[in-house]
Structure 1
Amino acid sequence: MLKPTRIHLVRQLSQSFSQLVSFCTSLGIEKVCQIVSGVGSLEDLEASLNQSGVQVTKDQVTQVVYSCKDQVHPRRLLRFFMWSRQKSSSDLGDVEFNFLIRIFAEKGDLTAIEILLHDLKKERRKMDVETWGCLVDTLVRFGKEDDAVGLFKNIESLNCPRDKGSFTKLVHALCQQGHAKKAEQVVWRSKNMFGMGPTIYTCLVHGWCLNGNVKEAKRVLNEMRNESIAPGILIYNDLLRCICEKNVKCNPSALVQDANDLMMEMRSSGVFPSSVSFNILLSCLSRVRRVKEACHILLSMKSLGCAPDWMTYFLVVRLLYLTGRIVRGNRIVDEMFNDGLVPSLRFYHDLIGVLCGVDQVGHALAMFARMKRNCPQECGPMYDLLIEKLCRSGEFEKGKQLWDEAVEAGFILQCSANLLNPMRTRVFKPIRKLTKMELEECRSVLNAITKEDEIATRKKRKKQRKGSRLRR
């Protein structure tokens, strides 16, 4: 038996050897990454890889591709993969092929995907369902929905299982891009084989809603009920968004009525509207500036059994600020904080931007003070916005105070220090509203100018007529 000291020495030697091997491996991967992310043609890339003498394994191939995917063109990754298939110490298997197809699908390189699919079919490798989902998503996103459907018809050539998983991935990809009609054709051909579940119905309703076709979406919803499948809140929210978007374009006055009718239908089906449902309606009301209805919905949400979230308050307050109701908006902000809600950065960023846009810099500074108390680490961009707004409005002292405060807090400002110099910054003076007397004077001046123009054009025409007569 070995003595304890010798056992300890053997363990140390084996540990140091493994560390040396991992260090050399990391050096090899780093060297390959530098070659792949370098410059030159694809032939130069392959020549550099041959000259390096590096031997890569299956795991190292995927590590190099993952490390370089955001830095280099996909064709360089494809050439490296093809080179690795010839030079790697172990044969690249199905896992590596699927991994690279997902990377190219993410990058949207359809030519590289086509090359890999050809090799995958030729070598009879297997494609997993996750890769199939990425593949059809990319094809449909780039307008190749017919190719995606054709691949599903011949999915056995990819050694991918024709099951409910691959079927659902295709329907979902088609409906996400609004190809509901084509998705229904696929469903009609395959529903006897795979059946119709809640996921398929949800995808179809979403697809028709993306097209703005309320009639077809309700038809699918009724078919779902006839199959004794209870619709979920996702379906109702999609339908609510579709109805509200249509009313924004055609009939804004019917927004609240149609939304209330659908929400009553939801409650009768056992699905209660969430804050997301009300936020969809409030967002559309904000776009058409329906202030009274938006405030009424905010007040009635609690009585309807739905607590508003910070996004609900944000939509109403933003609408009030845009329509000049600053004090009322501030009261609703205080109410939100009293309810214990903690808003995200978007709440502060967007509302400060709105207040600056409507020339309410004082209220924007008050909102900024709240932001500094709640999330002081994310105030950098707001310093830039407020300093420029203050200096452009002529309030250079307040702008200088904010500048010193930001520098003291350690923020790196993007705006120029020249803004603080009144001799170099152009101040935009606020436009004063004209009185009735001034408006009448402007109108009289405009009428006089138009009369003078008419008289001048008449005289010009008379001269042209006289000249034409003399020539005759």
Structure 2
Amino acid sequence: IEATCKESGVEQAMKLLDEMRSKGCKPDVVTYNVLINGICKEGRLDEAITFLNNMPSHGCQPNVITHNIILRSMCSTGRWVDAEKLLAEMLRKGCSPSVVTFNILINFLCRKGLLGRAIDIMEKMPEYGCTPNSSSYNPLLHGFCKEKKMERAIEYLEIMASRGCYPDIVTYNTLLTALCRDGKVDIAVEILNQLDSKGCSPVLITYNTVIDGLSKVGKTDRALKLLDEMRGKGLKPDIITYSSLLGGLGREGKVDEAIKFFHDLKGLGVRPNAITYNSVMLGLCKARQTDRAIDFLAYMVSKGCKPSEATYTILIEGIAHEGLAKEALELLNELCARGVVKKSSAEQVVVKM
């Protein structure tokens, strides 16, 4: 039945259910759960609810998994009132919620920005014999980070650990991303340095996040030290790592160092992409070395790397900042006419000119 739901749809699976019954094989709760899940995946939630309500008449009581399937579908379609009613009905019938039940509700509330209600739900979990896990805390932390409430996020990180639920690398990556986005890179570095002692080893994306954060606030020297550190731990930097560092060197006016770093990539077996080239060109343009940036564009094309829209807008802004605003505007209009640069992007460039 499960395979039929996936391959041929629920209607065919229902025929199998009828055949199963006709041959005296009584479906159990697992059978019904598979069918309800299939109905929900097809977007037929009301039918799934009817199916749930009819289960007792077929001699089968829904279990917590049955209710969780319906709850998840209700939450994913924004039917919170129905979800609350189903939860109340579930409790009335003596079907105890599981950690998964609570996590479905917490995740929904956090996505809607209702963090206070999500916390209330979490605090009630022990009353039902459920202990919050990382999947309970992660949506909350993500919600706090999204709202730039970093103190609250760190507070809940500590609460999480104090309750014996140790954050995983996903939790830390969420926090580090938010800290770096807000420019709080020193705190991010401090947390990164503590990860090994907490039994949570940083992964590539962890380092990339902090390296990018440092590079964007003029602390590329510290970012380069992290590059050495990650290599020392056996982690292989990728094109994202190097593009962040190149961007940082360019923003700090260290264009010659950036170009040398760029050419060193070949020896490391790294193939630059458009973002990598753009990082160098942006640095050259900011240093009012647009002629070198144009030469770098030619080099980019010669290496078989197709320029992006951002490549052209970077160069046009560079030309304008060299005092050639009229020529830059003419070039921009020509590129728009050719469809190389979108009108919306061109308007943003004009504002900067």
Cα distance in 2 between the residues matched to 1:314 and 1:191: 45
Q: Which residue of 2 aligns with 1:395?
A: 254
Q: Which residue of 1 aligns with 2:27?
A: 163
Q: Which residue of 2 aligns with 1:449?
A: none
Pick one of 243, 251, 268 that aligns with 2:127. Answer: 268
Cα distance in 2 between the residues matched to 1:209 and 1:321: 31
Structure 1 pair 217–359 and aligned structure 2 pair: CA distance change class (3 A): farther
Cα distance in 2 between the residues matched to 1:175 and 1:346: 34
Residue 363 of structure 1: how far off its partner (Å):
4.6
Letter in 1 for 2:125: M
Root-mean-square deviation (Å): 3.3
SS in 1 for 2:154: helix
Structure 1 pair 198–363 and aligned structure 2 pair: CA distance change class (3 A): same
SS in 1 for 2:190: helix
Letter in 2 for 1:267: P
Pick one of 265, 274, 292 that aligns with 1:424. Answer: 292
Structure 1 pair 171–287 and aligned structure 2 pair: CA distance change class (3 A): same
Letter in 2 for 1:209: C
**Structure 1 segment 44-55 matched on structure 2, within 5 A:** none
Which structure has more RCO (C-alpha within 8 Å, separation ≥ 6)?
A: 2
- Contact 2:4–2:12 (8 Å) recurs in 1: no
- Structure 1 runs (4+) greater than 6 angstroms displaced: 156-162, 426-429
Structure 1 pair 320–381 and aligned structure 2 pair: CA distance change class (3 A): closer
- Contact 1:201–1:224 (8 Å) recurs in 2: yes
Pick one of 132, 135, 158 that aligns with 2:7. Answer: 135
Aligned length: 283
Cα distance in 2 between the residues matched to 1:135 and 1:191: 28
Q: Which residue of 1 aligns with 2:107?
A: 241
SS in 2 for 1:377: coil
Kindly name which structure, 1 or 2, has the bigger radius of gyration based on alpha carbons: 1
Q: Does 1:201 align with 2:67?
A: yes
Q: Which residue of 2 aligns with 1:187?
A: 52
Cα distance in 2 between the residues matched to 1:289 and 1:375: 33
SS in 1 for 2:236: helix
Cα distance in 1 between the residues matched to 2:247 and 2:188: 24
Letter in 1 for 2:177: R
Cα distance in 2 between the residues matched to 1:363 and 1:345: 17
Residue 358 of structure 1: how far off its partner (Å):
5.7
Q: Which residue of 1 aligns with 2:201?
A: 342
Letter in 2 for 1:210: S
Residue 242 of structure 1: how far off its partner (Å):
1.2
Structure 1 pair 224–367 and aligned structure 2 pair: CA distance change class (3 A): farther
Q: Which runs of 5+ in 1 are unaligned?
A: 1-128, 140-147, 430-472
Pick one of 227, 232, 242 that aligns with 1:383. Answer: 242
Structure 1 pair 153–408 and aligned structure 2 pair: CA distance change class (3 A): closer
State the TM-score, normalized to the length of structure 1.
Answer: 0.52
Letter in 2 for 1:266: M
SS in 1 for 2:195: helix
SS in 1 for 2:67: helix
Letter in 2 for 1:185: T
- Contact 1:361–1:389 (8 Å) recurs in 2: yes
Letter in 2 for 1:293: R
Residue 188 of structure 1: how far off its partner (Å):
2.4
Identify which range, 369-378 or 159-168, moves more after superposition.
Answer: 159-168
Residue 198 of structure 1: how far off its partner (Å):
2.4
Q: Which residue of 1 aligns with 2:302?
A: none
Q: Does 1:323 align with 2:182?
A: yes
Pick one of 200, 220, 223 that aligns with 2:89. Answer: 223
Cα distance in 1 between the residues matched to 2:52 and 2:130: 26
Residue 272 of structure 1: how far off its partner (Å):
0.6
State the TM-score, normalized to the length of structure 2.
Answer: 0.68
Q: Which runs of 5+ in 2 are unaligned?
A: 294-313, 319-353
Identity across matched positions, percent: 20
Residue 236 of structure 1: how far off its partner (Å):
0.8
SS in 2 for 1:301: helix
- Contact 1:209–1:217 (8 Å) recurs in 2: yes
